[in-house]
């Protein structure tokens, strides 16, 4: 059994893209470790970065080149102060020097040392090769593949030895939603309770609680920043941030407040009807994705492009639907949502370069629908139905970002995914599992089949759809 932890599905990082920013950043860090292991890091005088396939075609707009430089500089996307990013990039561009691993300066010219090769490597659509040269060392090159959600892999060769790592045993092993459901039914437990037991194999109980809340705090802070920041997003499309204005209108004239708790309390005090609920959910998701588009700190959920759906639905639950809810409900939601995402990762893909936007917004919507359904008292079967419904109505969704930027259609698409998630959870609660016709595993299979049939032009290449219909120059 392959267990993908909830914390691998919900990773703290930097925008705008998990596959095109976070993955390459992590690949650069891993490359540095390989140089260290070979004891050649201090000999390196030159590094070249080659981007392939989708990383090359939309890498400019997705800041892949910048992520590679930040990774090579030895920074960690989870902890780097956001304000320092521009300083590091500007220094490299001005001085043409890169502080390799934060240890020694080497010559580095972005214009010639990050190469956008348009061709695809056979193993995966997102390839990145780092090549290091220096005196007294053989040229060392290493290729990584960014497979979505910030995950990176290397292609296995015949010489690779089988893993010596001892197999980890989990109390509840499963590879499909059917098997997970069987555990829930046999133990008479919720999905989140089953997953909590599995996560305990990987970390201490107290750590699970604190890390889940750290993930949530990052999500909430991201929404808060987005709701309180106005202006134009970077990248040249001249996209105006909208969360600021929507948020201001929704809150109206209220006494000044500061901090996340006071913000939540201010929203809870507002009277809401159907249209206001729609606007709040929209506002939360736009806010997160506007922060993502401006290289801010976000949580991949399961990707950066779709980072707004889960925070928007959970904020809706906390700020509007259930004012008594707190840490317990937050953890329950994230555990359930996270493990549903892992089923998609294992059974299909969470990479837009492999499956289009159904793999990003579709999966995030399914995750959020599942989390909300459990909080609303849905049985494990109904939770699976909620995830299935949310994905069913995203099947075939293509990825065609204008100008290769994670802005149009991405930002609005998060609002749509969040609203669909709430609707799917509601519909699942009204469904008798005996009458459900499409099991979650079947929709995961269908999504993967659809991904394989989808024309490459619609898989994060900006070679079709809106990316072709709308000219950046007109924006
Ligand atoms: S269109 Fe969807 S999959 Fe493509 S970059 Fe935007 S959010 Fe990601």
Express each pLDDT in 437-455 by its tens digit: 999 999 999 999 999 999 9
**Predicted local distance difference test score (pLDDT) of residue 147:** 94
CA angle 191, 10, 71 (to 5 degrees): 160
CB 361 within 8 A of CB 322: no
Residues with CB under 6 A from ligand 1: 305-306, 352, 357, 360-361, 399, 401, 406, 409-410, 413, 460
Nearest to 228 by CA among 254, 253, 258, 272: 258
DSSP 473: G
CB 320 within 8 A of CB 280: yes
Ligand 1 midpoint to CA 210 (Å) = 30
Q: Kindly give the confidence (pLDDT) of every residue in the chain, 475 residues in length, as a single tens digit, with 9 standing for 90 and above.
A: 689 999 999 999 999 999 999 999 999 999 999 999 999 999 999 999 999 999 999 999 999 999 999 999 999 999 999 999 999 999 999 999 999 999 999 999 999 999 999 899 999 999 999 999 999 999 999 999 999 999 999 987 655 554 444 578 999 999 999 999 999 999 999 999 999 999 999 999 999 999 999 999 999 999 999 999 999 999 999 999 999 999 999 999 999 999 999 999 999 999 999 999 999 999 999 999 999 999 999 999 999 999 999 999 999 999 999 999 999 999 999 999 999 999 999 999 999 999 999 999 999 999 999 999 999 999 999 999 999 999 999 999 999 999 999 999 999 999 999 999 999 999 999 999 999 999 999 999 999 999 999 999 999 999 999 999 998 888 8
**Predicted local distance difference test score (pLDDT) of residue 1:** 66
| Torsion (CA) 251, 254, 255, 258 in degrees, nearest 10 | 0
Give the number of the atom of ligand 1 that is nearest the alpha carbon of residue 398.
Answer: 1
Give the number of the atom of ligand 1 that is nearest the alpha carbon of residue 360.
Answer: 3
SS3 of residue 143 by DSSP? strand
Ligand 1 midpoint to CA 77 (Å) = 21
Nearest to 45 by CA among 113, 104, 130, 114: 104
123 forms beta bridges with none
Nearest to 330 by CA among 371, 363, 369, 361: 371
**Choice from 460, 467, 469 to test ligand 1 binding pocket (greatest atom count within 8 A of CB):** 460
**Predicted local distance difference test score (pLDDT) of residue 118:** 87
Nearest to 344 by CA among 195, 444, 439, 424: 444
**Predicted local distance difference test score (pLDDT) of residue 165:** 47
**Predicted local distance difference test score (pLDDT) of residue 90:** 97
* Rounded Cα distance, 187 and 47, in Å: 54
Ligand 1 midpoint to CA 222 (Å) = 19
11 forms beta bridges with 300
CB 13 within 8 A of CB 304: yes
- Edge-first strand order for the sheet with 114-117 is 114-117, 44-53, 126-134, 140-148, 151-153
**Predicted local distance difference test score (pLDDT) of residue 404:** 93
> DSSP letters along 179-242, please?
HHHHHHHHHT--HHHHHHHHHHHHS-HHHHHHHHHHHHHHHHHHHHHHHT--SB-TTSS-PBP-
* Rounded Cα distance, 462 and 57, in Å: 7
pLDDT, one tens digit per residue, over 362-413 is 999 999 999 999 999 999 999 999 999 999 999 999 999 999 999 999 999 9
| CB contact burial 146-165 (16+ within 10 A = b; e otherwise) | bbbbbbbeeeeeeeeeeeee
Count how many Cα atoms sit within 13 Å of the Cα of residue 100 in the half-sphere of its side chain.
23
**The pTM is what?**
0.95
pLDDT, one tens digit per residue, over 208-235 is 999 999 999 999 999 999 999 999 999 9
CB 465 within 8 A of CB 396: no
Measure CA 10 to chain center. 7
**Predicted local distance difference test score (pLDDT) of residue 58:** 93
**Predicted local distance difference test score (pLDDT) of residue 312:** 98
Residue 324 φ/ψ, nearest 5 degrees: -90, -10
């Amino acid at each position: 059994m392959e267990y993908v932890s909830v914390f691998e599905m919900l990773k703290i990082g930097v925008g705008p893209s998990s596959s095109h920013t976070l993955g390459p950043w992590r690949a650069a860090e891993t490359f540095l470790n390989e140089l260290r292991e070979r004891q050649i890091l201090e000999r390196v005088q030159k590094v070249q970065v080659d981007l392939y396939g989708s990383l090359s075609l939309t890498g400019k707009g997705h800041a892949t080149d910048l992520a590679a430089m930040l990774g090579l500089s030895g920074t960690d996307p989870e902890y780097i102060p956001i304000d320092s990013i521009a300083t590091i990039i500007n220094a490299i561009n001005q001085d043409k020097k890169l502080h390799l691993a934060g240890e020694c300066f080497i010559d580095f010219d972005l214009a010639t040392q990050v190469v956008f090769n348009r061709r695809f490597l056979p193993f995966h659509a997102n390839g990145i090769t780092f090549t290091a040269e220096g005196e007294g060392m053989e040229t060392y090159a290493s290729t990584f593949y960014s497979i979505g959600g910030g995950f990176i892999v290397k292609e296995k060769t015949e010489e690779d030895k089988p893993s010596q790592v001892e197999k980890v045993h989990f109390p509840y092993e499963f590879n499909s939603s059917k098997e997970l459901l069987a555990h829930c039914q046999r133990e008479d437990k919720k999905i989140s309770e089953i997953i909590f037991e599995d996560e305990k194999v990987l970390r201490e109980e107290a750590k699970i609680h604190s890390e889940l809340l750290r993930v949530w705090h990052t999500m909430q802070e991201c929404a808060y920043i987005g709701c309180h920041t106005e202006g134009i997003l970077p990248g040249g499309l001249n996209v105006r941030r909208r969360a600021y204005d929507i948020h201001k209108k929704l809150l109206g004239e209220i006494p000044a407040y500061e901090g996340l708790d006071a913000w939540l309390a201010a929203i809870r005090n507002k009277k809401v009807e159907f249209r206001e609920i729609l606007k709040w959910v929209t506002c939360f998701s736009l806010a997160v994705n506007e922060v993502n588009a401006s290289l801010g700190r976000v949580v991949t959920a399961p990707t950066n492009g779709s980072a707004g759906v889960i925070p928007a639905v959970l904020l809706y639950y906390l700020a509007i639907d259930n004012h008594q809810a707190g840490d317990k409900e937050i953890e329950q939601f994230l555990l359930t949502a996270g493990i549903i995402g892992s089923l998609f990762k294992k059974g299909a893909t969470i990479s837009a370069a492999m499956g289009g936007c159904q793999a990003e917004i579709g999966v995030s919507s399914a995750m959020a629908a599942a989390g909300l359904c459990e909080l609303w008292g849905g049985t494990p079967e109904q939770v699976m139905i909620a995830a299935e419904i949310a994905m069913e109505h995203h099947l075939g969704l293509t990825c065609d970002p204008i100008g290769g930027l994670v802005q149009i259609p991405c930002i609005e698409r998060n609002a749509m995914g969040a609203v669909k998630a709430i609707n799917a959870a509601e519909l699942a609660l009204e469904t008798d599992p005996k009458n459900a016709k499409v099991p979650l595993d079947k929709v995961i299979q269908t999504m993967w089949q659809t991904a394989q049939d989808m024309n490459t032009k619609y898989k994060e290449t900006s070679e079709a759809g809106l990316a072709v219909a709308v000219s950046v120059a007109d924006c």
